[in-house]
């Protein structure tokens, strides 16, 4: 006998505003990312001001990237008819591959603004990336937006409005992502940030293992015979394997020693912006737009 999913996606309501478990996962991930940056700031040679600046840039780019990727790859059939809904995050609709693309763009901008080698920065932050992706998958499970194929295994889950008991693929993927955290921390101890090894391990581990996990996922849309995310998973895994082979063979780059600059005044808008970006995701209810996923699951036959 499996588990019947009846978790309320709403954590609580305050002043008439609903706070969602899924959005809370994003906010928790951003808080962890900010704490991780603060912990790594000496090795990065950052001041507290630069930590806050990076936190704002990464949170903003992650939210924008996740939203744009979801609309462009998964839900364009819905949003091309309703373009006014594109900025309405409270309807749902975010994508994990967009999180990664947004994070990479944020790393490039942050590296330029802080004069930090971009590879050193990305290496340093893959731990935070794995944590954000892991905890967001737990949010996916709670809100029931990512479902697996039908299974008779005892831990199968019966989701609302979905036929049969399903693999809890969101939990599989979340566990995989969270297990990458200690692996990446160990990798950084062996190959310090700037070598590229940690980034390669992340790409290979995330993309390769997710490709396997997603064999059990029931995608709501298809691209050239596979779930759209599977093509990106394969690309990440191949890129990670190639990068790992290159980085392990080449000598370690001779980065100049970095020391934190003298304490600088923190503009009042920085902590305000960071707080706003920590709170904003709380209003996001699901990884797919709620109305659209309801239509897909009730369609006969189900199709995007």
What is the tens place of the pLDDT at every residue in 17-30?
899 999 999 999 99
The model's pTM: 0.87
Residues whose CB is less than 8 angstroms from the CB of residue 185 and which lie 6 or more positions away in sequence, other chains included: 127
* Spatial distance between the Cα atoms of 29 and 135, rounded to a whole number of angstroms: 7
* Spatial distance between the Cα atoms of 125 and 151, rounded to a whole number of angstroms: 36
Reply yes or no on whether the pLDDT at 174 is more than 80.
yes
4 membership: H or E segment, kind and range: strand 3-4
Residues in the chain: 304
Query: Which of residues 78 and 227 earns the better pLDDT score?
Result: 78
Bond from prior residue into 124 cis (ω within 30 degrees of 0): no
Condensed to tens digits (0 to 9), the pLDDT of residues 184-242 reads: 999 999 999 999 999 999 999 999 999 999 999 887 666 666 777 788 899 999 999 99
Q: What is the per-residue pLDDT for 97? A: 87
Asked if 173 contacts 210 with a C-beta cutoff of 8 angstroms, the reply is yes
Average pLDDT, the chain: 90
* Spatial distance between the Cα atoms of 109 and 103, rounded to a whole number of angstroms: 10
284-303: average pLDDT: 74
249-256: average pLDDT: 78
227 Rama sector, left if φ>0, alpha if ψ -120 to 50, beta otherwise: beta
Neighbours of 115 (CB within 10 A): 10
Bond from prior residue into 301 cis (ω within 30 degrees of 0): yes
Q: What is the per-residue pLDDT for 301? A: 43
Reply yes or no on whether the pLDDT at 300 is more than 60.
no
């Amino acid at each position: 006998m499996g588990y019947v999913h009846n978790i309320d996606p709403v954590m609580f309501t305050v002043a008439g505003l609903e706070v969602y478990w899924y959005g809370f996962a994003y906010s928790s991930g951003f808080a962890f990312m900010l704490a991780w940056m603060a912990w790594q700031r000496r090795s990065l040679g950052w001041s507290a001001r630069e930590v806050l600046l990076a936190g704002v840039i990464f949170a903003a780019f992650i939210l924008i990237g996740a939203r744009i990727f979801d609309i462009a790859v998964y839900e364009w059939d819905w949003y091309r008819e309703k373009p006014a809904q594109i900025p309405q995050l409270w309807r749902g609709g975010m994508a994990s591959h967009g999180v990664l693309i947004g994070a990479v763009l944020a790393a490039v901008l942050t590296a330029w603004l802080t004069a930090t080698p971009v590879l050193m920065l990305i290496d340093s932050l893959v731990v935070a990336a794995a944590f954000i992706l892991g905890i967001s998958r737990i949010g996916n499970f709670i809100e029931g937006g990512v479902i697996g194929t039908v299974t008779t295994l005892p831990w199968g889950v019966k989701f609302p409005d979905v036929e049969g008991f399903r693999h809890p693929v969101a939990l599989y993927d979340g566990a995989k992502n969270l297990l990458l955290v200690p692996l990446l921390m160990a990798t950084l101890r062996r190959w310090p940030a700037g070598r590229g090894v940690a980034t390669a391990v992340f790409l290979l581990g995330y993309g390769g293992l997710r490709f396997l996990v997603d064999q059990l996922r029931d995608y709501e849309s298809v691209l050239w015979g596979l779930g759209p995310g599977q093509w990106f998973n394969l690309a990440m895994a191949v890129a990670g394997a190639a990068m790992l082979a290159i980085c392990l063979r080449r000598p370690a780059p001779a980065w100049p020693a970095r020391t934190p600059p003298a304490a600088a005044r923190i503009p009042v808008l920085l902590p305000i912006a960071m707080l706003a970006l920590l709170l904003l995701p709380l209003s996001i209810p699901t990884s797919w737009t709620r109305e659209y996923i309801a239509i897909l699951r009730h369609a006969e036959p189900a199709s995007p």
